[in-house]
Amino acid sequence: MASAISNPSLSKPSPFPSFDSLKPSCRTTLQISTNYRKTTPHRPLQITNTLSEPKPKSTATKIATVPKNPTTPETFISRFAPDEPRKGADILVEALEREGVTNVFAYPGGASLEIHQALTRSSTIRNVLPRHEQGGIFAAEGYARASGRTGVCIATSGPGATNLVSGLADALLDSVPIVAITGQVPRRMIGTDAFQETPIVEVTRSITKHNYLVLDVEDIPRIVREAFFLASSGRPGPVLIDVPKDIQQQLAVPVWNQPIGLAGYVSRLPKSPLEIHLEQIIRFISEAKKPVLYVGGGCLNSSEELRRFVELTGIPVASTLMGLGAFPCPDELSLHMLGMHGTVYANYAVDKSDLLLAFGVRFDDRVTGKIEAFASRAKIVHIDIDSAEIGKNKQPHLSICADIKVALKGINSLLEKKGTKLKLNFSAWREELKEQKIKYPLSFKTFGEAIPPQYAIKVLDELTNGNAVISTGVGQHQMWAAQWYKYKGPRQWLTSGGLGAMGFGLPAAIGAAVAKPDAIVVDIDGDGSFIMNVQELATIRVENLPVKIMLLNNQHLGMVVQWEDRFYKANRAHTFLGNPSKESQIFPDMLKFAEACDIPSARVTKKGELREAIQKMLETPGPYLLDVIVPHQEHVLPMIPSGGAFKDVITEGDGRSTY
C-alpha cells in the first residue's frame, strides 16, 4: 500500500512558490561545497539562470542522502528496547526527538489524543499549550523565525487541522520551516464524512511545500525525517504530516535508518555558483557608478557574509520588510526599508541606481509598485535559491540560482583576492544619498499630549538599545515598527509579510520567548490584530513567558482607515472597532483581558508619561501589557500608492486633512 500522498504537478501556474525549490535555514542542512567550479577562459558568458549540468544517469536505484541533524546525538538513547513494539504515536514522538525537537506547540483533540499521550512519556519534548490551533502554528512560526530551527505544531483532525491553514500559507509565503502534524480519522473511515474529518492533505496542497498522509505505521520514521529535511533545505517552507488515529495506535518496531526517497528533490537543489558568473557580478560592480543592494529574507542566514560584502564594496543597502536586520539598520550604509512604506532615500536610491544587486528577494508588488518603473535605469543581478522566483516578476540581466550564503562567500573571496586593484569608489553616490537622508528623514508630528505611535516605538528602541526581539500583527503598527525600530541583527524582527495575517504578533512572541528565553521579546500590536488571538494571554501566563505587549490602540483598523482617508473620501466602512454608542470610551477594555489572565497591565494616554510607562513594562518581571492610546488620524508615511512608482510618493498629510 502506498504510504504517502504528495503534491502532484499542477496544470495551472500557482501563485505560491514551487514545491521543487523552497531560502536557507539551519537544522537539517544540505552540505554544499564552496569549491567554486573553474571555467575555461574562452567560454562565453551566459547571462541566465545558473543550474548545474545534469549528471549521467545511473542504472542503480537512486537514494537521496540526507546529512545527519547536527543537534541529534550520534547514538540516540531510546526509552524502548530495540525490538520492543510500541504505538505509532510513540514512534512519531521519538522521531521528533531524533530530529532534535525540544519544543512543540500542540492542542489536543480526539484524533490526536494518542500523540499527546505519547508526548507525556517524552522526557525531552516540552509542549507549550496554545489556546487555539492558529495560535499554535503562529507560535511555531515565531519559534522558527527567531531561532532558524524548524518549528513544530500539532493539531487534531477536522476543525483543528483547518485552523492551521492561515499559518501554513503564511509560512509558505515567508519561507519559514514548519512541520505541522495533524491527527486524522482512522483509515477505514477516510472519505465517509466521519465526525471531524476533513481531507487536510487536499485542503493544504497548494499552501505547503509538501504534505503526507501516513498509511503505514512503518513509514513514520522515514516520513518525519523527510519532512524535516524538506522543511529546512533549499527554500524553507511548511510540511504537513497527516496521521490517522489507527496508525497512531498500531504497534510496531520502528526501523530508524530507512533510506528516503527524495532523489528528484535533492537533484534540483541549487549547486555552487559558477565562478565566471561571480566574476561577472564583480565586473558589473566595477563598471557601476550608483550601485544598490536590495536584500530580502533570503539573506537572514548570511548576515555575516553580507556585512563583509558591504565592507569590501561600500555599496549602500536597502532592505525589504522580510530582510530587516540582515544588515544592521544603524549602519551608515543602511538605507532602511524600501517599497510602499519604505524610506524616501531607499526608494530614491533604487530609482536612480545603475546597478541593482537583488539578493534573496522576489520582487514583491509591495516593493516594486509599478514593475516597469522599478529600477528602470539599472542592470539587475538576481541571486535566489528558488529558480521559480528568477524572472517571475522582473527580468534580470544576470541571474544565479544558488544559496546566497555560498554565493556571497564566493564573491567575497574573489574581491579579497583582487584587493585594491578594483579601485571601487562610490563616495559621490553615498554623498548623494546622504543628502536625501537629510532632506527626507522619517518624521512625525506631535499634537499636544497625544502620543504619536511612531514616538512610542522610537522610545522602545532607545530603552532596549535596539536589542529586543520584536513581533507584530499586521497594519499601521507593523509598518511603524519596521520604520522606527533599528534592528541590529537578523531574527530580531518577526512579522507576517507575504500573507499579512492579523493576529500573528502575540503567538509569534510566544514562540520567540520559547526559542530565546533570555531575550527581551516585545509584541508591538494594534488593537485589531491583538484581539484576533487575545486568548493566547492565557498561554503566556501559564508558561510564565516574559512577553511584553505594547498595544498601539487607536480603536480603528488603522491601515484600512488610512486608505479610506486617501482614496475613499474618509467614508468609514466598518473600520471603527470601538462601541458606537460610547465613542468616547476605550472599548474593549484591554486591561481587563490582561486582568482575566493575571497579567500586569497599564494604560498610558499622555506623551509625557510614555517613557516611564515603557520603562516600567520592561522592568516588570514576566509578562506585561501596556495599552498605549494613540490617535486614529495618523498615517504611515512615506507611501507609494499601490501600482505607483517612485514619482508618486506621498510624504505629507494625515486623517486630519481631506483628499
Catalytic residue among 340, 502, 532, 559: 559
pLDDT of residue 108: 98
Question: What are the tens digits of pLDDT across the range 277-303?
Answer: 999 999 999 999 999 999 999 999 999
The sign of the CA dihedral 339, 345, 350, 355 is negative
Task: Say if residues 167 and 153 touch (Cβ distance below 8 Å).
Answer: yes
Annotated catalytic residue 559: yes
All structural domains of the chain with their residue ranges: 86-263, 275-439, 453-636
Annotated catalytic residue 133: yes
Q: What is the mean pLDDT of residues 313-318?
A: 98
Residue 642 Cα distances to 341, 369, 566, angstroms: 11, 6, 12
Q: Per-residue pLDDT for 26 more than 80?
A: no
Q: Helix, strand or coil for residue 31?
A: coil
What percent of the chain has a predicted confidence (pLDDT) above 90? 87
Catalytic residue among 196, 249, 258, 535: 196
Q: What is the mean pLDDT of residues 78-85?
A: 95
Q: Per-residue pLDDT for 503 more than 80?
A: yes
Annotated catalytic residue 1: no
* Average pLDDT over all residues of the chain: 91
Catalytic residue among 195, 395, 416, 447: 195
Half-sphere exposure of 102 (CA within 13 A, CB side): 12
Q: Per-residue pLDDT for 31 more than 50?
A: no
β 379-384/398-401 pair status: parallel
Taking the C-alpha atoms of residue 199 and residue 186, their distance in angstroms, rounded to an integer, is: 12
Which of these, 603, 599, 582, 443, lies nearest to 527 by C-alpha position?
603
pTM score, whole prediction: 0.90
pLDDT of residue 68: 54
The sign of the CA dihedral 20, 22, 23, 24 is negative
Task: Say if residues 499 and 169 touch (Cβ distance below 8 Å).
Answer: yes
Question: What are the tens digits of pLDDT across the range 538-562?
Answer: 999 999 999 999 999 999 999 999 9
Confidence of residue 62 (pLDDT cuts 50, 70, 90): very low
Q: Into which CATH architecture does domain 275-439 fall? A: 3-Layer(aba) Sandwich (3.40)
Q: Per-residue pLDDT for 37 more than 50?
A: no
pLDDT of residue 332: 97
pLDDT of residue 65: 54
Taking the C-alpha atoms of residue 341 and residue 367, their distance in angstroms, rounded to an integer, is: 9
Confidence of residue 67 (pLDDT cuts 50, 70, 90): low
pLDDT of residue 75: 81
> What's the distance, CA 399 to chain centroid?
23
pLDDT of residue 658: 87
Question: What are the tens digits of pLDDT across the range 582-641?
Answer: 999 999 999 999 999 999 999 999 999 999 999 999 999 999 999 999 999 999 999 999
Residue 59 Cα distances to 56, 62, 63, 260, 453, angstroms: 10, 9, 12, 18, 65
What are the grid coordinates assigned to 190, written together? 477516510
Q: Per-residue pLDDT for 34 more than 60?
A: no
pLDDT of residue 43: 33
Residue 465 Cα distances to 1, 7, 268, 460, 550, angstroms: 58, 46, 43, 8, 16
Topology of domain 86-263, CATH? Rossmann fold (3.40.50)
Question: What are the tens digits of pLDDT across the range 413-459?
Answer: 999 999 878 889 999 999 999 999 999 999 999 999 999 999 999 99
Annotated catalytic residue 562: no
Q: Per-residue pLDDT for 16 more than 60?
A: no
Which of these, 21, 456, 507, lies nearest to 269 by C-alpha position?
21
Question: What are the tens digits of pLDDT across the range 242-274?
Answer: 999 999 999 999 999 999 889 999 999 999 999
Catalytic residue among 87, 209, 245, 458: 245
What percent of the chain has a predicted confidence (pLDDT) above 70? 89
Question: What are the tens digits of pLDDT across the range 384-412?
Answer: 999 999 999 999 999 999 999 999 999 99
> Cis omega (within 30 of 0) on the bond before 588?
yes
More confident residue, 492 or 58: 492
Contacts of 50 (CB under 8 A, 6+ apart): 273, 274, 277, 399, 400, 401, 402
Task: Say if residues 487 and 493 touch (Cβ distance below 8 Å).
Answer: yes
Q: Per-residue pLDDT for 24 more than 90?
A: no
Amino acid (1-letter code) at residue 453 = P
Taking the C-alpha atoms of residue 22 and residue 224, their distance in angstroms, rounded to an integer, is: 18
Q: Per-residue pLDDT for 368 more than 60?
A: yes
What are the grid coordinates assigned to 396, written together? 534580470
pLDDT of residue 9: 34
Class of domain 453-636: alpha beta
Q: Per-residue pLDDT for 505 more than 50?
A: yes
Contacts of 438 (CB under 8 A, 6+ apart): none
Do 275-439 and 86-263 have the same topology in CATH?
Answer: yes
Annotated catalytic residue 138: no
Q: What is the mean pLDDT of residues 308-316?
A: 98
Catalytic residue among 133, 226, 305, 564: 133
Question: What are the tens digits of pLDDT across the range 333-365?
Answer: 999 999 999 999 999 999 999 999 999 999 999
Confidence of residue 64 (pLDDT cuts 50, 70, 90): low
